[in-house]
Structure 1
Amino acid sequence: MAETDSADFNADPIEASEFSYRELASDAPAASAALASETALAISYNGINQAVMMVSPGNLEDFIRGFSLTNEIVTGPEQIYDISITAGEESHTAEVEIASRNFWALKNSRRQMAGTTGCGICGVEAIDQALPQLVALEASPLPALALFSELRQKVNAAQQVARSSGALHAALYLDDSGKVVLCREDIGRHNALDKLIGAMLHQQVDSQSGMVVMTSRCSLELIHKAVRAKIATLVTLSAPTALTVQWARRYRLNLIHVPHHSPPRVYSPAP
């Protein structure tokens, strides 16, 4: 099995719950299976509600750090002063204290969004959010081909919860030697990446070294998050779209696809 040992490999792992089932049109006895957990997470900043989303209930502080950064609520971990999470029966609430300047910027952004309700510019605002202007990365060298040896086996070994329950995406950070250092899992691929980014921020991982691997397809929002987090290299196990390749090249993000039975394909930088 590929080596994945680390001091913090998947802290606070997601718990899976056992549920019984019967096979349809079968006389087989009842059996049971582990299913991934899911919870509603409500996030407020300095007492003001901001977002509610469905996530997997593990590594929630990492998720909040990553979500705050990739949604441009903060620009660095030092602007998050405190995170307090309360668990309910089917939901979690997170009270996040951020720096005053970030909070005022957030409030101003909320007022601008509210002011466009019902007017003709709403569509333009939504497009601006979907296709934002980003700050281009510094060009970074591509990882060596040898680092992709047994990559899928490493990913499978790292997905501790998905092995038993399925239904989970994973985002992993591999260092310059190809060793899995961090793995975060979630029902949503964007959530998994936010959790990983949050963990990298908290542990002061150099995002310009190593590579981030996603088990999911490469959506445009993953490109946004990777560039905002200053990740040098993003690797996906499913093919990217044309638009994601264009954006990766535009913002100098190394983008690599690893097919099942072919060598890694470098889409960005352009060949």
Structure 2
Amino acid sequence: MLPSERDVLNETDASAPTSRRVPTLVVAYEDPTPRDGDRDLAVEMPVNLVYGSVPYAVMMTTPSDLVDFAYGFSLTEGIVESADEIRSVRVEDGDGGLRLVVDLAPGRLREHLARKRAISGRTGCGVCGIDDLASLPTADPRRHTGGGVEIASIQRALLALGEAQVLNHATRAVHAAAWADRDGTLLAVREDVGRHNGLDKLIGALMRAGTDSSDGFVVITSRCSFEMVEKTATFGAAVLVAISAPTSLAIDRARLHDMTLCAIARSDTLTVFSGRQRLLLAAGR
């Protein structure tokens, strides 16, 4: 990995505290005598994405890695096709939240402003508000390159992911999305109160670092709905591993995109729902 890529994948750009300690009162069922305590809570904040001075969407996010979020969201929303179409991202204070001002390349900005947006937060909040069934988002099909992934590599990534979730250790309230190389080494982890946002942050970091989508696989801690498959397919990764179960539409989309989808993934077992030909039970097999 190039040093510049490592720097991007490991950097953080927290624009506000990501957790907040609050006082609590703890009551045990067997002993109703309450005791005072405190607990770290994950911060949830509205973030307004703005393109060319025109507001586009307000997403509820954890206020960290926001530049990554802007890149990943822009890709998975279909606003850009590559990182070089974004000239800069500026984080600003707004009324009751933050603003992400995204400066697009002139040609891309004109296309964006001329394009009617289907709904607010198209892949970020499911499909609420689409005009018809034909409006369901679908990533462009692509030909996947590269070899398979060993089962042992997936297990290695899953075992490492727990320790890598720093904010979740403090709050027990956020999702994570991670990128692992073919050996199962975690190269990047992003966390957010929103499962879609966490994946967008990860994809944004990988875009900015110039990571080859065929050089590893994605691991998510959340439920695997079809949007998570679509976002991963948009980035171009061929293997998606989810700790929770997939939906039926997620499996259909994974098969459509010729993706390997593993879910209900634990340290000792996983379930393969599509693309089993890409998994290697042992080295070279």
* TM-score normalised by the chain length of structure 1: 0.86
1:154 maps to 2:160: yes
Question: Any idea what SS the aligned residue of 2:112 has?
Answer: helix
Question: Would you say how many aligned residue pairs link Structure 1 and Structure 2?
Answer: 257
Question: Any idea what SS the aligned residue of 2:231 has?
Answer: helix
**Structure 2: which amino acid aligns with 1:246?**
D
Offset of residue 73 of structure 1: 0.2
1:165 maps to 2:171: yes
Q: For 2:272 and 2:148, how far apart are their aligned partners in 1?
A: 9
Partner in structure 2 of residue 20 of structure 1: 23
Q: For 1:229 and 1:181, how far apart are their aligned partners in 2?
A: 16
Q: For 1:56 and 1:216, how far apart are their aligned partners in 2?
A: 16
Q: For 2:58 and 2:118, how far apart are their aligned partners in 1?
A: 20
Percent of matched pairs sharing the same residue: 29
Alignment of 1:247-258 (within 5 A): 247-258=253-264
Offset of residue 242 of structure 1: 2.0
1:11 maps to 2:12: yes
Q: Is the 8 A contact 2:222 2:242 kept in 1?
A: yes
**Structure 1: which amino acid aligns with 2:56?**
Q
**Structure 1: which amino acid aligns with 2:92?**
T
**Which of 133-142 and 165-174 deviates more?**
133-142
Offset of residue 145 of structure 1: 1.4
Offset of residue 215 of structure 1: 0.3
Q: Is the 8 A contact 1:209 1:232 kept in 2?
A: no
Q: What do the CA deviations read for 1:235-257 (whole angstroms, capped 9, x no partner)?
A: 11112122211211111112112
Offset of residue 87 of structure 1: 2.9
1:176 maps to 2:182: yes
Consecutive unaligned residues of structure 1, counting only runs of 5 or more, are: 1-5, 114-122
Partner in structure 2 of residue 201 of structure 1: 207
Task: Indicate how the Cα distance of structure 1 residues 197 and 107 shifts in structure 2: closer, same or farther if over 3 A, else same.
Answer: same
**Structure 1: which amino acid aligns with 2:254?**
A
Task: Indicate how the Cα distance of structure 1 residues 101 and 173 shifts in structure 2: closer, same or farther if over 3 A, else same.
Answer: same
Question: Any idea what SS the aligned residue of 1:235 has?
Answer: strand
**Structure 2: which amino acid aligns with 1:23?**
V
**Which of 163-172 and 133-142 deviates more?**
133-142
1:236 maps to 2:242: yes
Partner in structure 2 of residue 46 of structure 1: 52
RMSD: 2.3
**Which of 79-88 and 102-111 deviates more?**
102-111
Partner in structure 1 of residue 122 of structure 2: none
Alignment of 1:107-186 (within 5 A): 107-110=113-116, 125-132=131-138, 134-138=140-144, 140-186=146-192
Q: Is the 8 A contact 1:173 1:182 kept in 2?
A: yes
Q: For 1:214 and 1:28, how far apart are their aligned partners in 2?
A: 37
Q: For 1:205 and 1:59, how far apart are their aligned partners in 2?
A: 17
Instruction: Give every structure 1 segment of 4 or more consecutive aligned residues whose post-TM-superposition deviation is greater than 6 Å.
Output: none
**Which of 60-69 and 239-248 deviates more?**
239-248
Partner in structure 1 of residue 64 of structure 2: 58
